[in-house]
Amino acid sequence: MDREQIKNILPHREPMLLLDSIELENDISVGKYTVRGDEFFLSGHFPGNPIVPGVILCEMMAQSSCLLIDMPGGNYKTFLSGLNDIKIRNTVVPGDTVTFKCERFKSKGMFHKFKCAGYVEDKLCISGEITCAVIQ
């Protein structure tokens, strides 16, 4: 799925659409984003040494996770409702393509839980659990 197809599912738009592509299979997603260097969140984090903020990496994982939720009727919104055991291991900088692997491991009612990890090449940059809520 490319950015335009992702927009048919997620309500996010530029500058907050933080996925370039995603592949979905069963309860696993693989989302990708290439950091261009001109993103709004880099200008002050940090001048002369731009690093993608951890909270932005969490949002990228959440967007990758939410695309796994497919509700009947298609008239719903997903919201990030929890972050657990988030670990930031390495930096993500302009020019990097970060790949997020997310797997749904639990669903109960409106809540869906995912185990996620973000990599640049084979280097683990972020990992943790994301919880998303579905509102219809």
Residue ranges per structural domain of the chain: 3-135
Q: Tokens 């669903």 sit at which residue? A: 107
**Is the separation of the CB atoms in 116 and 127 below 8 Å?**
yes
Give catalytic residue positions. Answer: 45
Confidence of residue 71 (pLDDT cuts 50, 70, 90): low
Residue 26: CA atoms inside 13 Å, Cβ hemisphere, count? 2
Q: Tokens 């959440």 sit at which residue? A: 62
Judged against a pLDDT cut of 70, whether residue 89 lies above it is answered with yes
Fold of 3-135: Thiol Ester Dehydrase; Chain A (3.10.129)
Q: Other C-beta atoms within 10 Å of 52: how many? A: 26
Which pTM was predicted? 0.95
Residue 66: phi and psi, rounded to 5, are -60, -25
- Tens digit of pLDDT for each residue in 1-58? 999 999 988 889 999 999 999 999 999 999 999 999 999 999 999 999 999 999 999 9
pLDDT given for residue 91 in this prediction = 98
Q: Which two tokens stand for residue 33?
A: 């984003």
